[in-house]
Chains A and B, each alone.
Chain A
């Protein structure tokens, strides 16, 4: 096989395909990227058998063929080349020669026959969504996906399409993140996508309002951007019925400016961190929210103006979880609803319902 193409294009595509590759896999062939000529374009494939990424790029194909290239070294070589035309040629022993004007590398590739084929998901009736919307939805929920295996299903995110609504829900036992988006689709889907897949997707897709199409079958999901296709296994099982755990009523509601609140909590948590417990205490009193934290090093007291409806109260949280949510909320103002100091509090937008975050408090003995 032989082709020429622009360094930048090839390098970008390699980086994308590499996202599906696990270093130190025990199946050596999976450390490679499958590179094939395909109807006048070049196709790169990386997979770890759970997640597979296919990338298509323009190239000037001189001779058809396929090879598995060692992902890391090939990627590094291409990345360090100047941005000019690169010529790649593979001989019948799968020796790969990489040439630019002043450089010439040869490295050994592997026969492509044993490279696993990606699962074919038939694109029937896909969901279409703008890439920037999907990206934002993932980024603002994925932090709440469970990272430990105590409950494997929670290491995935619930991806739900209900008529014209798309919901992504993540839940790790300490908090819940729910983002809603609107797209004209009129479908009903509910699947659990591994957290790793979604986070790779969010990194690969653009910030543009180009559409990405999503297709699911019983066990797989396919994200298709045209020149990039990401296919992933779904998690099998029952996701928690999240609507049931979001409290509908509250005894206290506060409104606060996010920036001010975030900064105050961040400052107070400097001391909480010192004590290794990230504990902050919030007191809701009249038109103030008072934040206290302390450790051996000292004590912090912060006040943030708020509007308060309902009961005054004191409640404690892990400051890190609180800040994660504030970061994701992103609006200027947020409403936070409380019931008791041991029940979850709920973050809602000022108006509309494009997100819901739920955070469990901590209880302290003093």
Chain B
């Protein structure tokens, strides 16, 4: 008896659907990409209940003839490539000819379409791959595809779909990317009957950004003027200033030949260009369009088409890193850190303090000229090249890496001959360098310090290298965390309130976690649409930075997919305040250094600094012996 059967088409399509249609957002991606391939200038996306019940995508593109519309639902039906040779030169977003067939297999689909020169259009209804109805109707030029009841015939798949809220958030994210990637197309996005996004489609990326992120962000981004050779590779887009860096990559959108893609390679290249401007736990906000000759990439990697392979990865990565690096270097950066460390206060007889103001003011004043109006008009009345003109902020690396406070505590005497006070302490440390600690739990010996940075400690048959800067940060962090948890939550009221605009995805999250925000000390209320008024902000360790806290926490809620975690949010908000809370007086005492060593040796504190760098690495005797080939 033969047991191998050839699967019927519906089953094949359902299996294929598994790869293409992961969730409602994937359907929208396919439909919109088809609309874009159909050369439309406007697209309406409408969803209800997270797209699980209802999705509609309407375009004003070239439409399909009756015959093509029927064919489009068949597997491997495409107008976009003819032979396998074309795969090396893909200029459309679609090319596999299986998206519609796959979607139709797991939904109830309705296609309404009319070609430009046709007198009448067609309406085709298909349920789970079976043709239900097929007729001629009158309709506008272009194509509308309505998709209802996703997975109605594969209930098992429904289990993997998340809540309406989560699916809506996914779709909103996707729509944001589609808007950002297609400034020439006017998008309208409607959720449960309410318009969420509208973009004008005037070809200006700035206006697309405005539609998604609101007015505020425009002051914090720098244009990447098209650079490179359009025939091989070129870049354009916008780079976020460090001040709007986020804690995850949500603010990053990459498009290769207008295709929205995910790419570790691009992420890494961009982040390496930003490296000196951002601390380790922050990710830049970036919108980057990469135009590259189609024969230099391979798109046919994954059915979802969100991955591509660059044929020369090294060259692309190097190009991006260099170009972005030079845009960043040519422009002034507004320090995201340390801004608040300066608070002017002049009393009547407080002349001396005036001078302290200088530094802080300069930084502030320059950052304020980065808004566009100001650039073109300076006191000299010249309207010079903005690149040249605004480049007078402080050198970025200096501002961002405020390391001063961390270096003081056991700096070597030679390095810091001027500082008499430190010296006294150092001697004490030196004296105790060979100090041995003996108690019930630990027994270790401080061997010394190398490169003025790493403390070497020996314990049993293991030796440890401890990064004193990282350790210092960790100690302060623990100390502040402790302090914070013993204090009441403090809210500083604000007047006027700070108005923030969030994306739709963020809005959904925010509404859901409003209580959490309140319990951390925020007073926030809705200000209509996607804007919110922050009327009160938490004060953590004397630091309040309403906008940074707000966005930081929003990012947190977002990343904690398994529900929001109050503890983690608190840690984060403390982390954000930590650097600023460090005052000159916060130099570590030797007692603290030893307390740290004790804690490290007894595994009582995490082995990373608050930014995730390791504090300590270990080397065992066995490992050493292996290196010296004493043992195998």
Interface residues of A (CB under 8 A from B): 22, 24-27, 30, 47-52, 116-120, 136, 139-140, 142-143, 145, 147-152, 155-156, 173-174, 176, 194-197, 199, 202-203, 219-220, 231-233, 235-236, 240, 245, 273, 275-279, 296, 316, 318, 320, 323-324, 327-328, 330, 342-344, 358, 360-366
Contact = CB atoms under 8 A, between A and B. Distances in A.
B490 interface: yes
Contact of B348 (A140, A147, A148, A173): A140
B334 interface: yes
Contacts of A150: 498, 546-547
B491 interface: yes
B361 A199 contact: yes
A269 to B, nearest CB: 11
B373 interface: yes
A77 B342 CA distance: 31
B340 A364 contact: no
A173 B494 contact: yes
Interface of B: 219, 243, 334, 339-340, 342-348, 350, 354, 357, 360-362, 364-369, 371, 373-374, 377-382, 388-389, 391-392, 394-395, 480, 483, 486-496, 498, 521, 536, 539, 541-542, 545-547, 581
Nearest to B494: A173
Nearest to A200: B361
Contacts of A145: 344
Contacts of B347: 327-328
Given A152-B368, A363-B536, 4 more contacts: A142-B344, A152-B367, A342-B493, A358-B495
A120 B542 CA distance: 44
A199 B357 contact: yes
Contact of B392 (A49, A118, A197, A202): A49
Contacts of B489: 364-365
Contacts of B496: 173, 240, 245
A117 B545 contact: no
B380 A199 contact: no
Given A26-B391, A50-B365, A147 B494 contact: no
Contacts of B243: 149
Given A147-B344, A360-B494, A48 B350 contact: no
B541 A276 contact: yes
A360 B493 contact: yes
A24 B394 contact: yes
A147 B491 CA distance: 20
B364 A149 contact: yes
B392 A149 contact: no
A235 B382 CA distance: 17
Given A50-B366, A194-B365, A220 B379 contact: yes
16 contacts: A26-B391, A51-B365, A119-B381, A136-B348, A143-B344, A143-B346, A147-B340, A149-B334, A155-B364, A195-B364, A235-B374, A273-B542, A275-B487, A327-B350, A361-B493, A362-B539
Given A50-B369, A147-B342, A27 B382 contact: no
B382 A364 contact: no
A275 B490 CA distance: 12
Nearest to B371: A152
A318 B539 CA distance: 10
Contacts of A366: 488
A48 B346 CA distance: 24
B368 A194 contact: yes
A8 B374 CA distance: 37
B366 A296 contact: no
A277 B392 contact: no
Given A149-B339, A365-B489, A139 B388 contact: no
Nearest to B243: A149
B364 A118 contact: no
Given A149-B367, A276-B581, A139 B486 contact: no
A323 to B, nearest CB: 8
Query: Which has the most chain A C-beta neighbours within 10 Å: B342, B354, B381, B389?
Result: B381
Contact of A49 (B371, B389, B395, B493): B389
Contacts of A143: 343-346
Nearest to A195: B361
Contact of B345 (A155, A220, A327, A363): A327
A26 B388 contact: yes
Contacts of A149: 219, 243, 334, 339, 364, 367-368
A364 B492 CA distance: 9
A273 B483 CA distance: 12
Nearest to B344: A143
A147 B366 contact: no
A63 B389 CA distance: 33
A181 to B, nearest CB: 15
Contacts of B388: 26-27
The 9 closest A-B pairs by CB, nearest first: A26-B391, A327-B347, A196-B365, A116-B380, A49-B378, A25-B392, A360-B493, A276-B541, A196-B361
A277 B541 contact: yes
A176 B496 CA distance: 10
A362 B339 contact: no
A352 B373 CA distance: 39
A49 to B, nearest CB: 4
Contacts of B381: 117, 119-120
A147 B343 contact: yes
Nearest to A22: B392
A27 B332 CA distance: 12
Contacts of B362: 22, 196
Contacts of A328: 346-348
Contact of B492 (A174, A197, A276): A174
Contacts of A362: 490-493, 539
Contacts of A151: 498
Contacts of B378: 49-50, 116, 119, 233
Contacts of A219: 377
Contacts of B487: 275, 277
